[in-house]
Structure 1
Amino acid sequence: MASCFKAIKKELSSKRNDFFLENNRLLLKELVSSIHGKYNLIRVFSEEEILEATNKYDSDQFLGYISVHTWYKGCCGDRDVLIKKFLDWPDRKHCATEIAGLSQIKHKNVVELLGCCLETEFPILVFKNCFDGTLSHRIHIGTTSTCLEDPVFPWEEKLRIASEIAHAVAYLHSFTVRPIIHNDITAENIILDGQGGAKLANFSRCIPLPLGRTDVETPILLGTHCCLAPEYISKGRVSEKTDVFSFGILLFELLQCNAHSTNATLEFAFKKVIERVIVMQFKKCIELANICTSDKDSERPTMKEVTEELWRIKKMRHNSKSNVTRLQAL
């Protein structure tokens, strides 16, 4: 009997080593091709540490599914963490992509990667804890009111979140070793930290642009289909402007309006505005979302320009009643 247990333990140990070697091979390949020597140090966690942190994946630690991944809260030593589990064999490559991407990024509005566990069949990522739900949940739960009169999710908070995420994406495009295309900017992939901040998450589908290139062609479509730019769907072409398109769709979702809305279709929303809301800010955001989602990528602004425009919109100060009167007179 004892020899039987030893054989089983040896087999499990062998499998763990195989997973570790294969996951390391994929990660090393991705890092070498992506970061050009500049990266943030991350910790390698053991499987035992992950099990201890989550109390063996206890249901009380389960946070839910974000995109196609499983998330748990946990505690490693004296630090609260978020733990992301990949669930299928193609996710090995996606996990390596995410680690390579996040290892280059240090931004207050991007989730902070602390480390990973490579001993399991499918890799596990460990993040600094910042979870207070997703933006998608925040937008859609508990209210049927228009965005301009919503007391649960105030206009000022929506505008701030849009500005923070725009700044994070502009950083990916302009301040990393190579421009990083996030490739899946959706409300579900934005985590709220409970302290008024928003953080961009899920870099498993990100694409670093080769040096000297402004776009690449990919044989497989990644990302959320309803947020994909036309040139990505038709030609598989990915550039910074595909992220701009996805951000425009996100902005429409924040505004709770349909794409390419006009003043006529927004008349009802404007009539519902309450005094504390600045109508012209809303109108300018609609205009910005429309140009971000232009069918032609050449007509879309850069994310730096989007960030600057959102900053200008935040600085506007108009009396809402006088603006409603002017809009109704159009």
Structure 2
Amino acid sequence: MGYKVVVAGATGNVGREMLNILAEREFPADEVVALASRRSLGTEVSYGDKTLKTKDLDTFDFTGYDMALFAVGSEATAKYAPIAAKAGCVVIDNSSLYRYDPEIPLIVPEVNPDAIEMYSNKNIIANPNCSTAQMVVALKPLHDRAKIKRVVVSTYQSVSGSGKEGIDELWDQTKGMYVPGQEKAPAKFTKQIAFNVIPHIDVFMDSGDTKEEWKMIVETKKIIDPSIKVTATCVRVPVFVGHSESINIETEDFLDEDEARDILREAPGILVVDKRENGGYVTPVECVGDFATFISRIRQDVTVENGLNLWCVSDNLRKGAALNAVQIAELLGRRILKKG
């Protein structure tokens, strides 16, 4: 007997990816229901070889369903997730709403799978921010070996992280550079994104950090170790899909770059592509559609006593969102529900 699964927000970028990945990974589902807002009611979405018609999230009865993957944003999640959870359906939420609740687990299955046991506190599990998810996959095996003290990360985040509007704006502005009369002023972003980079993702906070940077700091501490010091600079770049990160790590114990490379090669969810030659690294274009987090440019940082640098790339719609949610669902099934 398989699971009865709901995907809420099935017409959005992440919701569609959730359906794709459930099918690709042959998740043991007897029934999959696609939910959307009333304005998208009846829209058809793909699930493997099947086509599903979306049902109305507002009136849906979650009773009898095992798990619901939410990709509807914080406002809708605040309304509907408690309803699903109360009906006995475990919510796996992709929004930021529940990530910082101490009673709700924030999970990356390769990093902190044991936290799944906390799900029963509220019948809700949180999915981390896209930029955090790929970084902690890389940090955890190194932390286990040498205990990370401090992380300095600069991100290069694709426009798909801001939704369909971000993708459309980059496309329209790029066309407008070459077609007279097609110029597109910034709307989704604060400045032109085509042929530009913007050091501003989410709102500014009193500290001077943006909320995206704050998320990386707080979530890394919750997922791996509260003693790790993290500082981040998050930048939007004119790439459609795929987030990249330049990560500088300082450890308590010395960790040689060759040993670090070997550790990362053996770590779950990671593919190391690290040749010191032209093209011997992974870029965002090459990671699209892949499940892995790719690590390249592993090298010693000689400016500190125990330092490493690395380059980290992943498909943000997959590992940064939909894939991680499906992996949580798989973990929930294996460890807790044990049906499929």
Normalised by the shorter chain, which TM-score bucket? under 0.3
User: Which is richer in strand?
Assistant: 2
More helix by share: 1
- Which structure's relative contact order is higher, taking Cα pairs within 8 Å and 6+ residues apart? 2
TM-score, with length taken from structure 1: 0.26
Provide TM-score, normalisation by structure 2: 0.25
State the structure with more CA Rg. Answer: 1
